[in-house]
Amino acid sequence: MRRPRMKAEGAGYYHCMSRIIERRAILGEAEKETLLRLMRELAGFGGLEVLTYCFMSNHFHILVHVPERRDVTDEEFLRRVAFIRRGGELKALGRELRARRQRGQAQAAEALKARFTYRMYDLSEFFKALKQRFSQAYNARVERCGPLWEQRFKSLLVERAESALLTVAAYIELNAVRGGCVGDPKDYRYSGYGEALGGGREAREGLRRVLEAARGRRFAWGQAKCAYRQRLYVQGQQRGLSPEGRPIRPGFTAEQVRAVLEAGGRLPMHEVLRCRVRYFSDGLALGGREFVEGVFARYRGHFGPRRHSGARPMRCGEWGALCTLRDLRLAPVSRV
């Protein structure tokens, strides 16, 4: 029996990822467009905020903010449902809801809404629907059947603090650079940063919200664009630019990374985010010591009686005060 997923009390930030079964590289442009459309529709329905994302050929990363659950008015309810139901079905739902209100059947009206609202403001319901709907669309198009994704999605509970939230966002944006798809994250279409610089309104709003959440003040898009790019270059795009605007040093070889790690060295932040970091997918919770200890106390029953504390320092990199809930011993940082 699997344990319940670790979630925040009330609103929370999560880095979530899922991989195609057997790591098959089936996500081409058409599939990524479908995944993007479904992600936006289901986030709009559920009231979730996608802050940034990256779709690769066999997996995806999404940084999402789940607000605290609240009641929705009938008008907002119908606006939300319009993301996933259209045409006659949506009109019929609206007519039935209004008819129940007019008849004074408040309880019946709320019961009708509850058929949908239980899926709102819920991380698990969002990803369940996203993966199921994509699987159905893909299987129908290529005439296949059976599961498409490996296991259930992974989630990392992320502290709102700048050191945690912006570090995870940068790691997600640099996926395409680590994978050798592009030299500059702005050139990768299927990422929050790439979409935002291409004019995507929702992607721009997501990156602006990352900065506002992390730094505690408002940003116009022009300010957010500059601040976010500076953050990416500090943590990932170092060593200057070529005349064409591409990083002179786009990455690190396996031998370079292995030599540093085997010598007991700690990779600086701009180098470690070029690597595959298991803390961001398997660490369960990430943030400062106080934040991680709070998550540990809330989920104490998930751990054995000999475990007396929750926060574990992150190894193999210069992470500052960041900790995770799991002490990953097997290759927490690797080249691939």
Which pLDDT tens digit goes with each residue over 84-128? Answer: 998 999 999 999 999 999 999 999 999 999 999 999 999 999 999
Give the global pTM: 0.88
The letter for the amino acid at 225 is K
The radius of gyration of the chain's CA atoms, rounded to the nearest angstrom, is: 21
Q: 287 - beta bridge partners?
A: 323
Reply yes or no on whether the pLDDT at 268 is more than 60.
yes
CA distance 294 to 325: 10
Share of the chain above pLDDT 70, in %: 88
pLDDT digits (tens, 9 = 90+) for 288-336: 999 999 999 999 998 988 899 999 999 888 888 999 999 988 888 876 5
The confidence band for 2, taking pLDDT boundaries of 50, 70 and 90, is low
pLDDT of residue 227: 86
pLDDT tens for each residue of 211-225: 999 999 999 998 898
* CA gap 13, 95 in Å, rounded: 36
Does residue 236 register a pLDDT over 50? no
Q: Are 136 and 128 in contact (CB under 8 A)?
A: no
pLDDT at 3: 72
Q: For residue 52, what pLDDT is reported? A: 97
The pLDDT of residue 233 is above 70: no
Kindly report the backbone phi and psi dihedral angles of residue 128, in degrees, each rounded to the nearest multiple of 5, phi listed first. -60, -50
pLDDT of 241 above 90: no
Contact 65, 205 (CB under 8 A): no
Tell me the pLDDT tens digit for each residue of 37-72: 999 999 999 999 999 999 999 999 999 999 999 999
Q: Are strands 154-158 and 285-287 parallel, antiparallel or unpaired?
A: parallel
> What backbone phi and psi angles, to 5 degrees, belong to 327?
-95, 90
User: pLDDT over 90 for what percent of the chain?
Assistant: 68
Q: Residue 185: is its pLDDT beyond 80?
A: yes
Average pLDDT for 146-155: 92
Q: Taking all residues of the chain, what is their mean pLDDT, rounded to a whole number?
A: 88
Residue 142 pLDDT level (bands cut at 50, 70, 90): very high
Determine the average pLDDT of the residues in 132-142.
Answer: 95
Contacts (Cβ under 8 Å, ≥6 apart) of 161: 214, 287, 288, 291
Q: Give the CA distances from residue 85 to residues 49, 77, 131, in Å, rounded to whole numbers and listed in that order.
A: 20, 12, 18
Judge whether residue 81 has pLDDT over 70. Answer: yes
What pLDDT, in 10s, does the model give residues 326-335?
998 888 887 6
CB of 66 closer than 8 Å to CB of 14: yes
Q: What is the model's pLDDT at position 252?
A: 46
279 or 267: which carries more pLDDT confidence?
Answer: 279
Question: Which pLDDT score, from 0 to 100, does residue 226 have?
Answer: 87
Classify the phi-psi angles of 143: left when phi > 0, otherwise alpha if psi is within -120 to 50, otherwise beta.
left
Q: How far, in Å, CA of 173 to CA of 167, rounded? A: 10
